[in-house]
Structure 1
Amino acid sequence: MNFVLTINVAIISKPGLGLRFDGGSVFSRGTSVVSEQHHEILGTKRLVGISTDLLTQSPAPLSLSALSEKFFVSRSSIVEDLKKVEAWLATFALTLIRDHSGTYIHGNDLNIRMALKDIITVSVLSQYQTADSRIDRFSRTKLVDQFGKVNVDNCISLIGLIEDELTCAISEPYYTNLFSHLLVTIRRAAGLTAQSDVQTYTRHEGKEWTIAEKAVSWLQDEYRMILPAIEVSYIYQYLISSGRHTLTSGDSLPLPLNSEADRYADGLIRESSEDLGLDLSLDNKLRHDLAQHIKPMLNRLAYGIAIHNPLLDEIKSELGSAFNAVKKAADRINQKYGYADISDDEVAYLTIYLQTALDKFRAAKKIIIVCSSGVGTSQLLSSRINRAFPEWEIIAIVPGSQLSNTLEMKACDLIISTIKLEDIELPVAYVSAIFSKKDIARVSERLFSDENMKEKHHAG
């Protein structure tokens, strides 16, 4: 599995323990395919339980006897389970230590949190949730069983208070992301002797920072504990990465400005269009919607915040062409401008926007062809249009002199003509009889211009 490391790494040797990989303070997994070990750990209740206990108690050790009694299996079974857990933990740059005190996890607190969030989002929420749901009753039951009713209820209540302060609802997948972060924070902070080892952060001005401060204060009052000051920064990062809250012009946070999101959207549309063989660059709605999604996405990439897409496998299967085109385009853009690697989950969300635009453009349309040339040329033009736009229906091929009579009898969405037409209210795309790539672009431009005018009219 590939890793993205944002600071120096090292291999540390300890006598009697072996080698340990030190991944630094900020760690994120790359975009490679999830391993079989990953599926086995997060798909097995006992392995999830063992992993959760080790992660939440770390660095406090757990004994084999205690784990054996809790999960009703032999010590030898626990030993085999720990081998699988150890391999999975390594993907987060975490090490499983076994010594005279027991078994415990050694590693950075941020990486421990990432592993816990992976358990929540993959082993619990993704099994039951749909793309538009929040914490449904099935997921809630499993979360309560794993993390406790009070903790689950408090996370839901706190997000409700945050939404009241924001005066808007946090939609999926951002709700689930914030929920899992808060749940991990509670489980890691409650009763821990070791607090977060990341102490440096930047304080920011603005509504989101104030709300994050209130959230941390609420947690401290509710659990009667003191959280590290950096917890405010963590919650703030999730709020500005939620897709609803962007930075103000006066904010000093070194994150992408709106122009970067616009540039990213333009590049994504342009490069994806080349692979898909259809120019979507004139679709104003697509550009606007993509830029709005990309603004918080760039925040997530900057902070290493991962989101889960419950429809990822379906999108890869059903929208494979669009997904692959978007992934290649995003990888090129990220490499060009120095952004962090983008996950398949993020690519899947971007793909939905592109596919929506493709479906809108390719939707069945009734076409009339106007051509002054002979029958052979008309048939050539018709066949090339059918090949470029197979969903479209050519309802008539007529000379210019018969167009008015044809329009009185037949309704159409677009006229494609090789000759100049006068006094036609319907959209007209002028092409050559050969219908080259330039002609396909002209048809696309005419349709998108018409769609953009309709959207402006409705908006007005």
Structure 2
Amino acid sequence: MIFSSNENMMINILNFDEYVSAKYLAETLYVSTKTVYRMIKKINELFIEEKKVPLIISEHGKGYRLSSRFRNSDVHSMVEFAEENTLNEVALALLFKYPNKVKRTVMNTDYLSDSSIERRLKKIAEIINKYAIQLHYDREYLWLSGKEVTIRKAINHLFLEMNKLNSLSEIGITINAIDKYFIDQQIVLIEEMLNEYINYPYDITIYTHIYMVMKRYREGEVHYLGNQEPLEKEERLLMESNPQLLEVATKIIRNIENYLSIQMDSLEIYFVFQNIYSINSQKRESSNVDKKLAEEITKKFITDYFMISDVTLLPESRSLYEDLYQHILPMLSRLRSGIRVENNLLDELLLEYRSTFLKVKTLAEEINQELMFDTKMNDAEIGYLTLYFEKYKIHRQEDKNILLICSTGVGTSELLKVRIQQNFPTMNIIATMSQRQVKKNLDFIKENVDLIFSTIRVPMEIENIPILLISPLLIDKDIQNINHTMKEIEQWKK
């Protein structure tokens, strides 16, 4: 029996004496009551099949709870949970929180022994170490150390890996660790030989094809190939005109033959070629469209969230832009394919970042209305997007954000920026604007700017943000004035 994280959570919620209503379960798990009924039906069917009795019982007007036979017992030891996804989810929670610490409760170890907890920590460390990131922990917290570039790479790879595992389990495929490693290596080989990254959901096509071929040969169910007609002229010409894809397909089949110690029908090369060619064609047709759409959605999230007219006005916008874009691009493939993701971080996220989540959700709902897919961005997707915004905010809190106002927004501003950064390394010049641009971006300035330096007299006040008149050359008097103002700001905060 393999249950999803939501199904695991439902079992935890019901493991008490009191009955729990379907409405409460739906609100707690952020799903519909219809989904709750479906989950309970699935759990009970699996338990009846293996234990001959249902796990969850219901009473009209009261709701649901675990059967007295299982209540207050270690239910988790009776079922096989998809541990790999659970560990990936913990790793992902740590990556999103980097460089901050995370409470050990994120591991959800209520039903585990000390030895099991230690084993999970070692496995999480192994997952993280693949990206040159180190896991640290004490009795209360977990935290990571590493470089920002590897943090982003790990987030993207783990997210795709989790979706892949979810999709395979949904169609009833469970792959042992050795086979999984072998198939993973074939995906890597294809990517290296074609010099192209196979993102989700295209990798699922290759995964399932290789797995099914291996399974059929192991079980001897390949007699149908003997009745197949030889390749038609058009099929042969297609392979000949794509020698690189043919070389990859041939290599994959040879690797499977060596792995299984068997000889396979030569037609298998064409079937692998056909899959790779099909994926390659689909990606060529949709990738440019998806890339453009992902760019537009990313820009809309940033400009609407910060209420600015252009993404480049946001300080260090590239960091947030890349994070959002790398999530949104594969998300479009998921939405097109009707695939929904889970997000076990939602509970904690809604407690800590509720206002950000609701703000991002409002923007997502506007974008959903414009998308032509039947499947829309759900709370799980919105939750991940929320974490990117929070991650950006954490990184921006360390330095003082400075806005430069010049007569045209350019001119001597570059020289002035260099002079300021030389004298005040903790100051971050987030933008240079003309007076007209300032009037158009007041909301952004109020939310993101700590101090304004202006080379012209600005007849305006922007809430409590100090405005200092300075020389374009930043003379000694300006430096003294800035230092004095900074001390006043610190005193005011205390």
Output the TM-score relative to the length of structure 1. 0.42
Instruction: Name the structure with the higher helix share.
Output: 2
Question: Structure with the greater relative contact order (CA < 8 A, sep ≥ 6): 1 or 2?
Answer: 1
Output the TM-score relative to the length of structure 2. 0.40
